[in-house]
Amino acid sequence: MENVLDYLEKTAKKYPTQIAVEDENTSLMWAELVYRAKRIGSVLCDQMKRQDAVVIVAEKSTQTLAHMFGVLYAGGFYVMVDPMQPQDRIQRIFSVLRPSLVIADEKYMENVKQILSTMQKKETEDRPRLTAMQTLLPSYDVTDKVTEDSGTAENTADQPWNDLVAEVKLQKIRAKSRPTDILYGIFTSGSTGMPKGIAVSHGAVIDFISHFTQTFSITKEDRLGNQAPFDFDVSVKDIYSCVMTGATLVLIPRTYFSAPPLLLDYLCDRHVTSLTWAVSALTIISSLGGLKYRVPTEIKRVMFSGEVMPNKQLKLWQEALPDAMFVNLYGPSEITCNCTYHIIDHAVTEGEKLPIGKAFAGRSVFLLDEHHRLITEAGRQGEICVSGQSLANGYYNNELETRKQFCYLEKEQLPTDMTGQVLTEGQRFYRTGDLGYFDEEGLLYFCGRKDFQVKHMGHRIELEEIEQALDMVPNLKRSCCLMDTAHNRIVAFYLGNVKSAEIRRALKEHVPDYMVPRKFIQAETFPLNKNGKTDRAYFKSILESA
pLDDT band at 391, cuts 50/70/90?
very high
Least confident of 117-126, 168-177, 499-508: 117-126
Largest CA distance in the chain: 74
Compute the distance between CA of residue 419 and CA of residue 441 in angstroms, rounded to an integer.
9
Mean pLDDT for the stretch of residues 367-389: 92
Question: What's the pLDDT at 55?
Answer: 97
Least confident of 17-21, 329-333, 512-516: 512-516
Q: 3-state SS of the chain: helix, strand, coil percent to 5?
A: 35, 25, 40
Burial letters 359-371, b for 16+ CB under 10 A, else e: bbeebbbbbbeee
In this predicted model, which residue has the larger pLDDT, 10 or 460? 10
Question: What's the pLDDT at 156?
Answer: 41
Question: What's the pLDDT at 422?
Answer: 61
Question: What's the pLDDT at 126?
Answer: 67
pLDDT band at 123, cuts 50/70/90?
very low
Question: What's the pLDDT at 140?
Answer: 37
Q: Check residue 186 and report its DSSP letter.
A: E
pLDDT of 284-323, one tens digit each?
Answer: 899 889 999 999 999 999 999 988 899 999 999 999 999 9
pLDDT at residue 139 is higher than 50: no
Question: Coil, strand, or helix at residue 223?
Answer: strand
CA dihedral 315, 320, 324, 328 (to 10 degrees): -30
SS3 letters across 444-497: EEEEEEHHHEEEECCEEEEHHHHHHHHCCCCCEEEEEEEEECCCCEEEEEEEEC
pLDDT at residue 115 is higher than 90: no
pLDDT at residue 279 is higher than 50: yes
Question: What's the pLDDT at 146?
Answer: 58
Question: What's the pLDDT at 162?
Answer: 64
pLDDT at residue 386 is higher than 90: yes
Least confident of 27-31, 100-104, 173-177, 448-452: 448-452
Question: What's the pLDDT at 399?
Answer: 95
CA distances to 95, 300, 497, 520 from 480, rounded to whole Å, are 33, 31, 16, 10
Mean pLDDT for the stretch of residues 379-395: 95
pLDDT band at 191, cuts 50/70/90?
low
pLDDT at residue 263 is higher than 90: yes
Question: What's the pLDDT at 252?
Answer: 98
CA dihedral 521, 522, 527, 531 (to 10 degrees): 60
pLDDT at residue 141 is higher than 50: no
Alpha helices for 87-190 (secondary structure H): 87-97, 109-118, 133-136, 163-174
Question: What's the pLDDT at 54?
Answer: 97
Average pLDDT, the chain: 89
Task: Tell me the domains of the chain and their CATH numbers.
Answer: 6-177 (3.40.50.980), 212-358 (3.40.50.980), 363-449 (2.30.38.10), 457-545 (3.30.300.30)
User: What are the phi and psi torsion angles at 419 (to 5°)?
Assistant: -95, 5
Question: What's the pLDDT at 152?
Answer: 57
Do 396 and 402 contact (CB within 8 A), yes or no? no
Mention every residue, 6+ apart, whose C-beta is less than 8 A from residue 486: 543, 544
Question: What's the pLDDT at 92?
Answer: 85
Strand partners, 492: 481, 520
Strand partners, 431: 385
pLDDT at residue 120 is higher than 80: no
Question: What's the pLDDT at 23?
Answer: 96
Question: What's the pLDDT at 154?
Answer: 53
Mean pLDDT for the stretch of residues 259-279: 96
Compute the distance between CA of residue 239 and CA of residue 28 in angstroms, rounded to an integer.
14
Percent of the chain scored above 70 by pLDDT? 90
Question: Coil, strand, or helix at residue 195?
Answer: coil
pLDDT band at 546, cuts 50/70/90?
confident
Question: What's the pLDDT at 142?
Answer: 43
pLDDT of 405-457, one tens digit each?
Answer: 999 988 766 655 445 556 777 889 999 989 999 999 999 999 887 777 777 87
Mean pLDDT for the stretch of residues 329-341: 95
Question: What's the pLDDT at 62?
Answer: 97
Mean pLDDT for the stretch of residues 491-504: 95
For the beta sheet containing 182-188, the strands, ordered from the edge strand earlier in sequence to the opposite edge, are 129-132, 101-104, 53-57, 77-81, 182-188, 196-201, 394-395
Percent of the chain scored above 90 by pLDDT? 68
